[in-house]
Amino acid sequence: MLKSLVKAKYIIASVRTIETADLLIERSSMFKTMTDIEQGRGTRTEGAISVFHLTEGKNKGKYLVEDGYHRLFLLLLGHQTKIKANIQGYGSEINTDLATPLKPLKINPSLKYMGLEALADEEILEDLATKEEKSCHLSSDK
């Protein structure tokens, strides 16, 4: 998916802490992720999410999420304003020749769930946050 979205300049890999407000997140991917989590299909991976750093164009300075949507959803649900991200590479811009253009989810740290409210009612997000909190407590008790 990423290679079709970004016109790559060069590829590297480095882990950094970045602001969640600087992420470009595909809205439909986050909605699918929320559905997965509602149905008990949470993250199976730990660690940094994978992103591509955009260095030119209207999204200059933003990080396009490549992988880690489940981890990212849970971090946003927990109101994390900074996250670890594995920078997979740098690119000039989002490819505008795509049949389906990128529809980003806007991150807003001033909201309780940082913009996830655009995907679902706050009650649903509250339920997911409560389930996740209980799940973390159960797994740490083992």
Per-residue pLDDT of 53-64, as tens digits, reads: 888 878 889 999
pLDDT category at 10 given cuts 50, 70, 90 is: low
User: Does residue 42 register a pLDDT over 70?
Assistant: yes
In a domain, 142, yes or no: no
pLDDT category at 11 given cuts 50, 70, 90 is: low
Domain count, the chain: 1
Distances (CA, A) of 76 to 24, 70, 107, 117, 129: 13, 10, 9, 11, 10
Count CB neighbours of 84 within 10 A. Answer: 15
Query: What's the pLDDT score for residue 52?
Result: 87
CATH number where 93 lies = 3.90.1530
- Give the C-alpha separation, 101 to 86, whole Å: 24
Name the residue range of residue 110's domain: 2-137
Task: Name the pTM for this structure.
Answer: 0.82
What percentage of residues in the chain have a pLDDT greater than 90? 54
**Phi, psi values for residue 77, rounded to 5°:** -60, -35
